[in-house]
């Protein structure tokens, strides 16, 4: 049975594909920023438990207060890009989800437990004593597990040739472990997330924790160290991921495709620039360089997805039946939601500064 025969018919779109593609590429990096901050803050807090001294202990405590918010923002900012992926690639994503349904259904309870543990880590920080770091370790392990499940699903979604395994294993327990791109893809995402998360911790410490200079200095130093060394490691992991891609896809980033090649060159230059500012402990310049870098990496990810799916599916060929009202309703809701979130963040930051 050919892989193409296993792919369901794509649903009719209610607006031109370009609209949904635009919003996918707009919202997915926002989810990444929140996820990076969440994982990086968790890692810095865990490492701080291993350092002696009151400053590092208090740094862990301050990050414990931020973690529940970061988990909430990560989950909520992940809804929009997941919906847009469903709109554009829903027939593919639903198929891969069914293949690994048992693991996919586990995502919600895993997130609930992880979210609950962040509140235990926050509210019972002093009462837990040395046990607090083990609660945090459990949170990180659960969140990384969710990331691995997502990587499996997204990689299986673009590999219809692997779907025929369902006929011998129909219990929803399939993973994409045989895919040579899975592990480098996952590690590329996680390494980058932890690196950018270290930068978030440095920024958080330099701004919202400056009322306690020792804690602020410790968080800034540790966050920037984490960012620079993990970014350096990320260059190696990214090279591994690039070399693991099918030859035709890899060559597009090496001169075979002008857009893909330009994205790779810009990404490498920005990464090198962040290393230069990172080793100098320059927080704000590093932040301004990292923001476009995350978007460039997201565009590269989209190029890879498009190349994998090229033999099977082209989103621009999906029939369109114009119904503008759902899109307009979404845009109005999005604007109101952004305004509300901005207001909450301003209130939170002002409260933090007043403490």
Q: Is the pLDDT of residue 2 over 80?
A: no
Residue showing tokens 């594909």: 17
Residues 6+ apart with CB under 8 A from 301: none
**How confident is the model over 73-94, as pLDDT tens digits?**
999 889 889 999 999 999 999 9
**How confident is the model over 298-310, as pLDDT tens digits?**
999 999 999 999 9
pLDDT of residue 53: 82
Whether 334 is covered by a domain: the verdict is: no
Q: What is the CATH classification number for the domain harbouring 88? A: 1.20.1630
- Say how far apart CA 156 and CA 177 lie, in whole Å: 10
3-state secondary structure 238-281: HHHHHHHCCHHHHHHHHHHCHHHHHHHHHHHHHHHHHHHHHHCC
The SS3 assignment for 159 reads coil
Number of domains within the chain: 1
Residues 6+ apart with CB under 8 A from 82: none
**How confident is the model over 180-194, as pLDDT tens digits?**
999 999 999 999 999
Q: Is the pLDDT of residue 254 over 90?
A: no
Q: What are phi and psi of 320, to 5 degrees?
A: -120, 130
Whether 335 is covered by a domain: the verdict is: no
| Per-residue pLDDT band at 1 (split at 50, 70, 90) | low
pLDDT of residue 305: 93
How large a percentage of the chain has pLDDT more than 70? 98
CA atoms within 13 A of residue 345's CA, in its CB half-sphere: 9
Whether 349 is covered by a domain: the verdict is: no
pTM of the model: 0.91
**How confident is the model over 122-171, as pLDDT tens digits?**
999 989 888 999 999 999 999 999 999 999 999 999 999 889 888 888 88
Q: What is the mean pLDDT of residues 250-268?
A: 91
Q: Is the pLDDT of residue 330 over 90?
A: no
Q: Which candidate, 180, 194, 88, places its Cα nearest to that of 140?
A: 194
Residue 283's domain comprises 12-329
Cβ-in-10-Å burial (0-12, 13-18, 19+) of 31 comes to: buried
Whether 341 is covered by a domain: the verdict is: no
pLDDT of residue 29: 93
pLDDT of residue 341: 79
Whether 244 is covered by a domain: the verdict is: yes
User: What b-and-e string marks burial along 145-155, b requiring 16 or more CB atoms within 10 Å of the CB?
Assistant: bbbbbbbbbbb
Q: Is the pLDDT of residue 355 over 70?
A: no
Whether 96 is covered by a domain: the verdict is: yes
Q: Could you tell me if 104 and 149 are in contact, meaning their C-beta atoms sit under 8 angstroms apart? A: yes
| Per-residue pLDDT band at 324 (split at 50, 70, 90) | confident
- Residue 13 bridge partners (DSSP): 320
pLDDT of residue 352: 64
- Identify which has the larger pLDDT, 341 or 47: 47
Whether 167 is covered by a domain: the verdict is: yes
Cβ-in-10-Å burial (0-12, 13-18, 19+) of 173 comes to: exposed
The SS3 assignment for 53 reads coil
| Per-residue pLDDT band at 354 (split at 50, 70, 90) | low
Q: Is the pLDDT of residue 256 over 90?
A: no
DSSP string, 182-242: HHHHHHHHHHHHHHHHHHHHHHHHHHTTTTSHHHHHHHHHHHHHHHHHHHHHHHHHHHHHH
| Per-residue pLDDT band at 353 (split at 50, 70, 90) | low
Q: What is the mean pLDDT of the chain?
A: 91
- Say how far apart CA 320 and CA 12 lie, in whole Å: 6
Whether 350 is covered by a domain: the verdict is: no
How large a percentage of the chain has pLDDT more than 90? 71
**How confident is the model over 196-211, as pLDDT tens digits?**
999 999 999 998 888 8
């Amino acid at each position: 049975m050919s892989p193409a025969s296993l792919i369901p018919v794509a649903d009719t779109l209610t607006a031109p594909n370009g609209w949904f593609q635009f919003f996918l590429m707009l919202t997915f990096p926002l989810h990444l920023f929140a996820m990076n901050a969440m994982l990086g803050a968790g890692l810095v807090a865990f490492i701080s438990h291993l350092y002696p001294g009151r400053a590092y202990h208090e740094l862990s405590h301050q990050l414990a207060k931020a973690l529940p918010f970061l988990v909430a923002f990560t989950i909520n900012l992940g809804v929009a890009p997941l919906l847009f992926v469903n709109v554009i690639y829903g027939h593919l994503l639903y198929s891969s989800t069914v293949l690994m349904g048992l693991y996919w259904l586990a995502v919600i309870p895993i997130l609930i437990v992880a979210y609950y543990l962040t509140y235990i880590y926050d509210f019972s920080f002093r009462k837990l004593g040395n046990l607090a770091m083990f609660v945090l370790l459990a949170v990180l392990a659960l969140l990384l597990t969710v990331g691995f499940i997502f990587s499996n699903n997204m990689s299986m979604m673009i590999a219809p040739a692997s779907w025929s395994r369902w006929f011998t294993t129909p219990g929803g327990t399939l993973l994409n472990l045989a895919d040579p791109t899975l592990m480098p893809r996952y590690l590329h995402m996680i390494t980058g997330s932890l690196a950018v998360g270290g930068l978030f911790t440095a920024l958080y410490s330099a701004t919202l924790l400056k009322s306690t200079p020792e804690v602020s200095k410790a968080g800034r130093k540790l966050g920037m160290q984490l960012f620079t060394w993990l970014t350096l490691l990320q260059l190696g992991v990214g090279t591994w991921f690039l070399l693991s891609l099918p030859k035709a896809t890899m060559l597009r980033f090496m001169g075979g495709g002008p857009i893909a090649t330009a994205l790779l060159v810009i990404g490498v230059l920005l990464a090198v620039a962040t290393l230069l500012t990172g080793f100098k402990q320059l927080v704000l310049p590093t932040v301004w360089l990292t923001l476009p870098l995350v978007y460039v990496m997201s565009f590269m990810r989209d190029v890879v997805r498009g190349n994998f799916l090229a033999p099977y599916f082209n989103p621009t060929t999906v029939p369109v039946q114009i119904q503008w009202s759902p899109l307009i309703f979404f845009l109005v809701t999005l604007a109101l939601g952004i305004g509300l979130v901005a207001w909450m963040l301003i209130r939170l930051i002002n409260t933090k500064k007043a403490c």
